[in-house]
Structure 1
Amino acid sequence: MTMISARVERLPFSGFHRKMLLAGGLGYTFDAMDGAVLAFVIPVLRTTWNLSTAELGMMVSAAFVGAIVGAFSAGTLGDLIGRRKVMMSALVLYCLASAASAMVNDWHAFVALRIVAGIGAGAESVIIAPYLSEFVARRYRGIFTGALAGFFSFGFVLAALLGYFIVPTSPDGWRYVILITAAPVVILLWWRRTLPESPRWLESQGRAAEAEATLTVMEASAMQRGAALPALDPEEVASQTPSAERGSPLKNYATLLSRKLRRITLMTWALWMSQAFSYYAFFTWIPSLLVQNGMSLTRSFGFSIVMYVAQIPGYFSAAWLNEVIGRKAVIVSYMLLGGVSAITMGLATGETQIMFAGMALSFFMNGAYAGIYAYTPEVFPTQVRATGTGMASGMSRFGGAIAPLMVGLVYPAAGFAGVFSMTTAVLLFGGLAVLIFGVSTKNRSLEAISAQEMAH
Structure 2
Amino acid sequence: MSKVRTMEEMPLSRFHYKMFAYASGSAFLDGYIIGIVAVALSVMHSQLNLSVTMMGLIGTATLAGMFVGGMLGGYLTDLVGRKKMFIIDMLVMAIVSILQFYVNDPMQLVILRFILGIAVGADYPIAGALMTEFAPTKNRGALLGGLNALWYIGYAGSYLAGYCMLSIGDTSWRWMLLSSAVPVIIMLISRLNMPESPRWLASKGREEEANAIVEKIFGEKVIMSAEKETETEEKTSFLDMFRNGYGKLTIFVSVFYAIQVIPTFAIGTYIPEIFSQFGFANGSREYLGSAIINIIYLVGLIPALYFIEKYGRKPTLYWAFLACSISLFALGAISESNAPFVFILALFVIYGSFNTGMGAHTWIYPNELFPTHIRGTAMGFTTGMARIASSISTFLFPAIMASYGLAITMYICGALLFIGFLVTIFMAPETKNMSLTQASSINKPNNIEQDSFVSNKTAN
State the TM-score, normalizing by the size of structure 1.
Answer: 0.87
Q: For the Cα contact (< 8 Å) 1:291–1:297, is it kept in 2?
A: no
Query: How far apart, in 2, do the equivalents of 1:345 and 1:297 lie?
Result: 26
Shift of residue 296, structure 1, vs aligned partner? 1.4
Output one character per residue of 1:297-331: Cα deviation in whole Å (capped at 9) or x when no partner: 33432431221111322223222222012122222
Q: Shift of the alpha carbon at 1:53?
A: 4.1
1:42-73 deviation digits (Å, cap 9, x = unpaired): 33344544545443332221111111111011
- What is the CA-CA distance between 1:439 and the residue it aligns to? 0.6
Which residue of structure 2 lines up, in the alignment, with residue 425 of structure 1? 415
State which of 371, 393, 406 in structure 1 corresponds to 2:396: 406
**Aligned partners of 2:24 and 2:147 also within 8 Å:** yes
Tell me the TM-score normalized by structure 2: 0.87
Structure 2 equivalent of residue 212 of structure 1: 211
Q: CA RMSD in A?
A: 2.8
Q: Deviations over 1:362-405 (max 9, x none)?
A: 21212111122122210111111111111100101111211221
Aligned pair count reads 437
Residue identity (%): 25
Q: Which has the larger displacement, 69-78 or 252-261? A: 252-261
The aligned residue for residue 248 of structure 2 is 263
* Counterpart among 412, 436, 449 of residue 439 in structure 2: 449
In the other structure, the counterpart of 1:282 is 267
Q: Is contact 1:74-1:123 (8 Å) kept? A: yes
Which AA in structure 2 matches 1:402? I
Report the Cα distance in structure 2 between the residues aligned to 1:435 and 1:101, rounded to whole angstroms: 45
How far 1:276 sits from its partner (Å)?
A: 1.8
Mapped partners of 1:169, 1:414: distance in 2: 40
For the structure 1 residues 130 and 328, does the alpha-carbon distance in structure 2 shift closer, same or farther, using more than 3 Å as the test?
farther
Shift of 1:232: 8.0
SS in 2 for 1:310: helix
Q: Is the 8 A contact 2:58 2:110 kept in 1?
A: yes
Gaps of 5+ in 1: 224-228
Listed as ranges, the matches of 1:239-258 within 5 Å are: 240=228, 245-248=233-236, 252-258=237-243
For 2:440, what is the secondary structure of its paired residue? Answer: helix
Once the two structures are TM-superposed, the CA of residue 444 in structure 1 deviates from its matched residue by: 0.5
Quote the residue 2:103 is aligned against.
104
SS in 2 for 1:91: helix
- 2:28 corresponds in structure 1 to 29
2:87 match: 88
Inter-partner Cα distance in structure 2 for 1:179 and 1:442: 42
Q: Write the letter of the residue equivalent to 1:261.
A: Y
Give the letter for the 1:423 counterpart. C
Q: 1:328 aligns with which of 295, 314, 318?
A: 314
Counterpart of 1:59?
58
Does the 8 Å contact 1:328/1:375 carry over to 2? no
Q: Give the conservation status (yes or no) of the 8 Å contact 1:303–1:355.
A: no
Structure-2 separation of matches of 1:317 and 1:57:
36
User: Do the aligned partners of 2:124 and 2:380 also contact (CA within 8 Å) in 1?
Assistant: no
Match of 1:139 in 2: 138
Residues 311 and 367 in structure 1, CA contact (< 8 A), matched pair in contact too:
no
Distance between the aligned counterparts of 1:105 and 1:317, measured in 2? 46
Q: Residues 43 and 28 (structure 1 numbering): CA distance in 2 closer, same or farther, change over 3 Å?
A: same
Deviations 1:104-139 (A, max 9, x none): 233222111100110111111232112211101211
Q: Which residue of 1 aligns with 2:454?
A: none
Q: Distance in 2 between matches of 1:371 and 1:438?
A: 11
State the SS of the aligned residue for 1:247: coil
Distance in 2 of aligned mates of 1:272 and 1:211 = 32
**Mapped pair 1:389 → 2:379:** yes
Deviations 1:324-347 (A, max 9, x none): 121222222222222333344454
Ranges in structure 2 where 5+ consecutive residues have no aligned partner: 447-460
Aligned counterpart in structure 2 of residue 416 of structure 1, from 399, 406, 419:
406
Match of 2:191 in 1: 191
Q: Is the 8 A contact 1:315 1:363 kept in 2?
A: yes
Per the alignment, residue 226 of structure 1 pairs with none
* Distance (whole Å) between structure 2 residues aligned to residue 282 and residue 45 of structure 1: 24
Q: Kindly indicate whether the alpha-carbon contact (under 8 Å) linking 1:70 and 1:120 is maintained by their aligned counterparts in 2.
A: yes
Task: Find out whether 1:201 has 2:200 as its counterpart.
Answer: yes
Q: After superposition, what is the alpha-carbon deviation per residue over 1:129-179, rounded to whole angstroms, capped at 9, x for unaligned?
A: 122111012111111111222222221221221233323652222222221
